[in-house]
Structure 1
Amino acid sequence: MWRCALPPLRRYPTVDELASRAAALVARSPRHARLRRAGTSRAGTPLWLLSVGHGARHVLVVAGPHANEPCGGATALHLAERVLADPALRDGADATWDLLLCVDPDGLRRNERWLGGPYTLGGYFRNFFRPGFREQPEWLPDGPDAAVLPETRALLALQDELKPFLQCSLHGVDVGGGFVELTHDLPGIARRLARTAARHAVPRELGPYDTLYWPALGPSVYRIPHPRHGDLAAAITEAAVDSTWFHPYRHGTVTAVVEAPMWGVAAVQDGSVPPDPDGALRAVSGALRHDMRLLEGLLARCRPHLAAAPDAAPLLAPVDDYLLVCPGLADAWDPDTRDRHTAHGLPPLTTAHLTALRLAGRRIALRTAGLLHQLVRSTGTDPAGVLPELDHLLDLWCADFHDGCGARWIPVERQVAYQAQMVLHAFDLARRRVPRPSRSGEPGWGSGTAVPMHRE
């Protein structure tokens, strides 16, 4: 049985711990592993690329694209250990594994107050950070040629340098279940996901909010639609925005977005037909409108005092983004208004869909409240008197997740084991789609020439 040579991670690693553990792996296995700087963050932090193996076919694993989803860094280290220990995953497959340990280290540092635990919903949301939509490295709102963030440019450069046959973007779901999003179908992955999720006691999301309008390739597996232009709300809620998921498509790259939950909710895998879906939708959209009105009022009271908050802009940007998109979300879900606010209706809804929408609405409210709480705390005073009200809302809404939705913590080691195994499944299935590169100089994966691939 495979055993990890380094002490197992029972908590999320920090930015510095990711680098130090990767360096220890390289020091232990210098023939097979190497570490290089692939770029630099806006704050000057190195973007470390850990490569294992010397094969002609590349697998690019991208960890930490969302700052509040730290499982991916631990998963990347776990995968490096697995590949070092099993020559069949590198030499036998003629593969090099390139693991970008964290593509947004600046954002991850802002989450370090909760990374080490204890893991509670209240502690998480009170210390949560996720940048505004335009500061997330995988998103290309103006296309790849106009990418502004150095983290994004570094990732695009890696994709064009490596031309990977598989790219795995490691994401997390704070409350919900696991699922996979693909740019190309990988037949058999849904069956493997079901087995892996059951083995690690991870609920599968059968109707994620993210994929509400996307085609399903199997239970908990969804096809990412090609990017299309639209306004911000439409891009976030209804379509795939132009992103680094699709940038390497021209190289024949299969991109798999692997989502692993932190707190699991069993009802996200309930495929039953609900008795009153319209009533449930009215309740969800009504709760979202009510919650955001409360938060808008609290923000209006404290905004005049936030100029004194150190580094307020990064915290205010996501607050303003959430407040911007929520009215459109509520109208798109509400059966009394959705026909006027979306170009197409909702798909047939299961209990899993309704649970995911309930979680999504409450998640946005909790994130907004948590960011406001941090903003006010950072001023050192509370002249508007909003902290007690924010504390009350955070406690109330976290209790709804825990008691009303049954959210239960999934230990970090189980999150990592699940996510890593799904990456290995994607690797196994994707490598069967393409021939091995020719060693005689003919076009192949190692030659820089894209192999034609069938479009499903």
Structure 2
Amino acid sequence: MDTDSVLRLVAEVPDHDGFPLVDDLHARFDALAAAHPEQVTVTRIGTSRLGEPLHSYRIGFGSHAAVIVGGVHPNEPIGSWTALHLATWAAEGGSAELDVTWHVVPTIDPDGMRLNEAWFHDPHDRVFYSRHFHRPAPDRQVEWTFPNAYKSVYFDQVLPETLAFMRLIDDTEPDLLVSLHNGEMGGVYYYLSEDLRDVIDTLHAVPAALGLPLDTGEPESPYLRELAPAVFAMDGIETAYEYLEGLGVDPGEHIHGASSAAWAMRHGALCMVAELPYWSHPDADDQTPTAESYADLLRRCADELGASGTELQAILDEASPMLTLETPFLEGSRAFIPMLTATPATDHARADREPADRMATVAERFGCEDLVRCFRLRYGGMLLRALEAETTAGTAPAPVRRLRDRLAERYATWQADAATGAEPIPIRKLVGVQFGAILACASHVAGASRASSPSLVTTSRPGGA
């Protein structure tokens, strides 16, 4: 399947007004299985922490196994539509030429996704989104709780959902793994486990055809290795560990579990993540130099983020002795808010190593400034939800209600600072990017298999069989 064929299929992706709720998503997959019993097989792979069955839908009978998993972060539901569109297309015979058996999990964390459902009907309003936002604490995220052992880091607190994911990978030994993620603001970027020019060309062509910018500003992590504009190598936690250690930062404070990709690469899988924003911004790929040095930009944004973290920590510390409900919002607040106060030290250490005369680009400035906005809105909103759980339940003493009101007032100023100039992106375009990226990778896997050169097969499977 060449790039033109991928683009034609991407153009056919239908639009949606919002995202499906968990029950609706599962009902749609079950209806698909009932409508195509000869093509679709449903297998239970595990159980969520709150007792919900987790299912994988096997579609087709190709010689290549592809595992596609949605909901790895439950605030990232673009993949819900992508998984359903891919499964429907495959069940109706669309993927025959790729010779793939698809193993699709609609959402691997239904418990966490339900805590985001309040904004699914209106995902275009950033203020509304952030006010009803939930993201699990790092050691409660399915994507980042795979077993890990490297130097001083050892992690084996595998979640039930992660165990189900691990079993699916081990049972299928996939040629391709795609965990369905998305970001929030800016442009499109990718992670790819191998430097594949044919795949990268298509990864660039799809957002271009849909009129979406690439995100060429500040990368998600400073140690990322760029394979091409907005395409980063999917290196393991070893890279992050060595980078942090080189800065004089204790890696054990920042690194815990490994990713699904690290587990799948043990089987030689090609792994890919397409990161999509809900909102685009013209500054996301503007390479014009600014009048501010990159080092000063890092310091300024680090100090702003740290100050916000200090404000939130003060409210959390004052409220904690009076809180009686151990909600996921409180658990997440206790994990993320200290991270906001700790990040500035790392960013200042980074800044001290940057040339003083290296000017930041507009894209880098936007990326750094919007990260501050993003984290304020996310984790301020989660702490508000934790306090409101107490006030709604009638268990909050008067001081907790006053803290809630104080935080709500401060949070309103952060909401007013949500990025101007941002435009919501039609959902069909976001699904189209993920769908096209999956097709590009599946096409490469099929093409590599057809090629008889042993060297080609070996170099495209870094982890070995």
State the TM-score, normalizing by the size of structure 1. Answer: 0.85
Which position in structure 2 is the counterpart of 1:216? 226
Judge which range, 225-234 or 157-166, deviates more.
225-234
Residue 117 (structure 1) shift: 2.0
- The aligned counterpart of 1:172 is 182
Aligned to 1:204: 214
Are 2:258 and 1:242 aligned?
yes
TM-score (norm 2): 0.84
CA RMSD in angstroms comes to: 3.2
Aligned residue type for 1:74 = W
Instruction: In structure 1, list runs of 5 or more residues that go unmatched.
Output: 438-442, 444-449
Matches within 5 A, 1:263-274: 263-274=279-290
Residue correspondences, number: 433
Deviation string 1:107-138 (CA, Å, 9 cap, x unpaired) is 00111111122642222111111110001112
State the match for 2:90 in structure 1. Answer: 83
Q: Which moved more, 1:204-213 or 1:294-303?
A: 204-213
How far residue 94 of structure 1 moved from its aligned partner, in angstroms, is 2.0
Residue 317 of structure 2 aligns with an amino acid whose one-letter code is A
In structure 2, relative to structure 1, the CA distance for the partners of 1:25 and 1:436 (3 Å cut) is farther
Question: 2: CA distance between counterparts of 1:358 and 1:234?
Answer: 25
Aligned AA (1:291): S
Q: Which of 354, 362, 377 is the aligned partner of 2:365?
A: 354
Q: Which amino acid aligns with 1:245?
A: A
Q: Residue 417 of structure 2 aligns to a residue in which SS?
A: helix
**1:61–1:169: 8 Å Cα contact kept in structure 2?**
yes
Aligned to 2:134: 129
1:160 matched to 2:170 = yes
Q: Deviations over 1:336-393 (max 9, x none)?
A: x4478xxx76998533233222222222222221011111111125633123332333
Residue 446 (structure 1) aligns with: none
Is this contact kept in 1: 2:306–2:341, CA < 8 A? yes
Tell me the distance in 2 between the aligned counterparts of 1:38 and 1:107: 18
Report matched runs for 1:397-412 at 5 Å.
397-403=414-420, 406-412=421-427
**Judging changes above 3 Å, is the alpha-carbon distance between structure 1 residues 345 and 159 closer, same or farther for their aligned structure 2 residues?**
farther
* % identical aligned pairs: 27
Distance across 2 between alignment mates of 1:10 and 1:422: 22
**Does 2:308 align with 1:291?**
yes
Relative to 1, partners in 2 of residues 1:196 and 1:235: Cα closer, same or farther, differing over 3 Å?
farther
- Aligned pair partner of 1:185 in 174, 191, 195: 195
Change (3 A) 1:2 1:259: closer
2:75–2:134 contact (8 Å) kept in structure 1 = yes
The partner residue of 1:327 within 341, 348, 371 is 341
Alignment of 1:377 with 2:388, yes or no, is yes
SS class of match (1:47): strand
One-letter amino acid of the structure 2 residue matched with residue 378 of structure 1: A
**Structure 2: where are the runs of 5+ without partners?**
1-7, 150-154
**Given residue 128 of structure 1, which amino acid in structure 2 is its aligned partner?**
F
Q: Which residue of structure 2 lines up, in the alignment, with residue 99 of structure 1?
A: 104
More displaced 10-residue stretch of structure 1: 116-125 or 26-35: 116-125
Distance 1:183 1:393 in 2: 42
Residue of 109, 112, 121 corresponding to 1:116? 121
Paired residues of 1:14 and 1:115 also in contact (CA < 8 A): yes
Map of 1:255 onto structure 2: 271
* Paired AA for residue 125 in structure 2: T
Compute the displacement of 1:413 (Å).
2.6
The one-letter code sitting in structure 2 at the alignment partner of 1:326 is L
Match of 1:25 in 2: 32
Letter in 2 for 1:56: S
Alpha carbons of structure 1 residues 166 and 118: separation in structure 2 relative to 1, 3 Å: closer
CA distance in 2, matches of 1:240, 1:148: 11
